[in-house]
Amino acid sequence: MRRSLVLGFFDGVHTAHRAVIESAVSYAGVQGTVPVLVTLKNSPALYFTGKIEYIFKREYSLSVIKNLGINEIIELDFEKFVSLSAVEFLEYLVKNYSPKSISTGFNHTFGNNKSGNSKTLYENQFKYGYDYICVPEQFVDGDQISSTKIKQFLKSGNIKQANKMLQNEFFIEGKVEHGKQLGRTLGFPTANIKYPDSIVKIPYGVYKTNLEIDNKKYCGMMNWGVKPTIENVSEPIAEVHIINYKGDLYGRNIKINITDKIRDEKKFSTLDELRIQIEKDVNLCLKS
């Protein structure tokens, strides 16, 4: 069985990633091959720094990739391959997966010390009998699309630009936990979740969101931070007020799609000032 291999980690499965995947799927449709992703179980950053910072949970990214037409996903253990030279890794791919084609982005690297790149793959295609498809850089509003750039946008609170590159909405998800119900006393009950440890952190602040609960869509307003006006908690929390929703979500897993940053988190002098500002924030979410 000949395969159309796609190489890459594809955190976030942004627009440029999709172009690489689609190149393999399209080739497979013409040549009768099977489109297969060869990727890593974890980001190489875990091996070098002991820390992971993803745009989306890995399981979600892989599910998106499958939906784009990839038949099989092969996850390699980075530690087992980190010492291989670029040619050794390429020979491993050829021997084990019989590629009819290999697709990568223009800046893809592989092999020990990132010694292999698109030039390596191009120069060896005739020797090893595959067609190499190199997908050029992709741009949004003049910015080159990359996972690094998306993380920079997210960390600066530029959610709209990050979402443009993702062709998706950045989101966090988690199980709704019991809080002190102070939002309820202000007239704005919230569902509280812990911000996922492995997901890139956006700045503390107030955000416009949307959610889907029981097949119904809702607009929401999320505060992510330490609640300085009320208690200045040591452990930051994500609290979302789901506009016009009535129901009990405790213990349920919810997905909060984040679409825009409204303002920075701020300490108010009184709870009444906070309540007035929340009213303004909710109205802004409904208008925009």
User: What domains lie within the chain, and their CATH numbers?
Assistant: 3-144 (3.40.50.620), 169-287 (2.40.30.30)
Of the pLDDT bands very low, low, confident and very high (cuts 50, 70, 90), residue 232 is low
Task: Please give the Cα distance from 144 to 136 (Å, whole number).
Answer: 10
Over residues 46-78, the pLDDT tens digits come to 888 888 899 999 999 999 999 999 999 999 999
Helices 147-156 & 159-166, crossing angle to 10 degrees?
Answer: 160
Q: What pLDDT digit, counting tens, does each position of 70-123 carry?
A: 999 999 999 999 999 999 999 999 999 999 999 999 999 999 999 999 999 999
User: Are 239 and 192 spatial neighbours (Cβ–Cβ below 8 Å)?
Assistant: yes
Q: What pLDDT shows up at residue 118? A: 97
**Whose CA is closest to 202, among 268, 143, 166, 153?**
153
pTM (2 d.p.): 0.93
Mean of the pLDDT values across residues 152-180? 94
Which amino acid, one-letter code, is at 125? Q
Give CB contacts under 8 A, 24+ apart, made by 74-77.
74/36, 74/37, 74/38, 74/39, 75/39, 75/40, 75/41, 76/38, 76/39, 76/40, 76/41, 77/40, 77/41
